Structure 1
Amino acid sequence: MAGTVVLRCCTSVTKVRTWKRCSKQIKEQRARLYIVWKCAVFLLSSHD
């Protein structure tokens, strides 16, 4: 039984690490899209 508990703990830790990595990449992608969107708005509004 102890082996099973250790395996479950390790599996959950791996999932957390994967989720943190994925979450970080999502945040970075959102930041890039936000910057591109702001630049586009700026360029379109400065057309005057």
Structure 2
Amino acid sequence: MAESKRGSSGRGFTRRCASLVREQRARIYILRRCATMLLCWYIQGDD
């Protein structure tokens, strides 16, 4: 009985961690895109 309870909470923890990782990866992706655009605009404006 205790084994199945621990297993289900473990899966919930894993799912929560996976969703947090996915969210952080999305944020990092957006930040990288913004930084790249800003850098390109800065370099273009240097001419």
TM above 0.5, yes or no, is yes
Q: Tell me by how many angstroms 1:46 deviates.
A: 1.6
Task: Give the gaps of 5 or more residues in structure 1.
Answer: 1-5
Q: Which residue of 2 aligns with 1:19?
A: 14
Q: Distance in 2 between matches of 1:20 and 1:43?
A: 35
CA RMSD of aligned residues (A): 0.6
TM-score (norm 2): 0.85
Task: Give the gaps of 5 or more residues in structure 2.
Answer: none
TM-score (norm 1): 0.83
Residues 1-48 of structure 1: pairs in structure 2 closer than 5 A: 6-47=1-42, 48=44
User: 1:1-48, CA deviations, whole angstroms, 9 ceiling, x for partnerless residues?
Assistant: xxxxx1111100000000100110110001001000000001111220
Q: Distance in 1 between matches of 2:41 and 2:8?
A: 49
Deviation above 2 Å: which 4+ runs of structure 1?
A: none
- Report the identity percentage: 30
Number of residue equivalences: 43
